[in-house]
Chains A and B, each alone.
Chain A
Amino acid sequence: DAGVIQSPRHEVTEMGQEVTLRCKPISGHNSLFWYRQTMMRGLELLIYFNNNVPIDDSGMPEDRFSAKMPNASFSTLKIQPSEPRDSAVYFCASRRLGGFGTDTQYFGPGTRLTVL
């Protein structure tokens, strides 16, 4: 399997611009997570979906952040408008819910976002 795929790998944008990060989970996985990683705050869970439905978005920092999962193989995280403090590495992870041996969350390679 190709693993979790994220795009773009790097994004540099100017303050105020809209940013869209994309994720393709592992085929057959039905739970998807978005994380943000910074030196100051470590790994933070932003939101997660089960079966394409948002379950917990309590980690989404502000209304400027939104996430969608229109189908089982695609999710987006959008920031509009972006601010310099949004600069971080954003990870997507996926997992197959239920059954023996399905505990593992598999992480993608991340998108490094820089907002100037």
Chain B
Amino acid sequence: GENVEQHPSTLSVQEGDSAVIKCTYSDSASNYFPWYKQELGKGPQLIIDIRSNVGEKKDQRIAVTLNKTAKHFSLHITETQPEDSAVYFCAARKAAGNKLTFGGGTRVLVKP
């Protein structure tokens, strides 16, 4: 089955700096890659996603890049703010499938 690896497991950045989280996936049939943000005591919430027919997608301060050949994708957060502190999960799903396989999560701490 699909396996998703996520790095780093923890990330501490200074407010205003950028944060980058990287994921690799194993199944070349995967074509949908969402990123979720989980705040303390809450369920994961989708923040951005990308399909395999595009290489990059941006939404304000967040962006996701995808390299299908290398089977990895990354989340970029620019101009980090304290409210960006949370756990971030990447995931992958096969075409015509319904199961998301999640990475292990990255705990991001933005220091004021």
**In the complex the two chains form, what is the Cα distance from A17 to B104 in whole Å?**
31
B-facing mask of A66-98, CB < 8 A → 1, else 0?
Answer: 000000000000000000000000010101010
Q: Assess whether B43 is in contact with A108, with CB atoms less than 8 Å apart.
A: yes
With A103-B49, A109-B42 given, is the CB distance from A43 to B89 under 8 Å?
yes
A-facing mask of B65-105, CB < 8 A → 1, else 0?
Answer: 00000000000000000000000010001000011111111
Count how many chain A residues have C-beta atoms less than 8 Å from C-beta atoms of the other chain. 21
* B46 interface residue per 8 A CB criterion: yes
**Which residues does B use to contact A, with CB under 8 Å?**
32, 34, 36, 41-46, 49, 89, 93, 98-105
A-B contact count (CB 8 A): 44
* A105 interface residue per 8 A CB criterion: yes
Q: Assess whether A104 is in contact with B104, with CB atoms less than 8 Å apart.
A: no
Nearest neighbor of B100 in chain A, beta-carbon distance: A105
**Which residues does A use to contact B, with CB under 8 Å?**
4, 31, 42-43, 45, 48, 50, 55-56, 91, 93, 95, 97, 103-110
Interface pairs A-B: 6 shortest CB-CB: A107-B43, A43-B102, A107-B44, A42-B104, A104-B46, A109-B43
**In the complex the two chains form, what is the Cα distance from A43 to B44 in whole Å?**
10
State which of B36, B43, B99, B103 has its C-beta within 8 Å of the C-beta of A110.
Answer: B43
**In the complex the two chains form, what is the Cα distance from A50 to B99 in whole Å?**
11
Q: A residues within 8 A CB of B98?
A: 31, 48, 50, 55, 95, 97
Known: A93-B43, A110-B43. 10 other contacts (CB 8 A): A42-B102, A42-B103, A45-B100, A48-B98, A56-B99, A104-B46, A107-B45, A108-B43, A109-B41, A109-B43
Q: A residues within 8 A CB of B105?
A: 42-43
Q: B residues within 8 A CB of A56?
A: 99
Q: Assess whether B32 is in contact with A103, with CB atoms less than 8 Å apart.
A: yes
Q: B residues within 8 A CB of A50?
A: 98
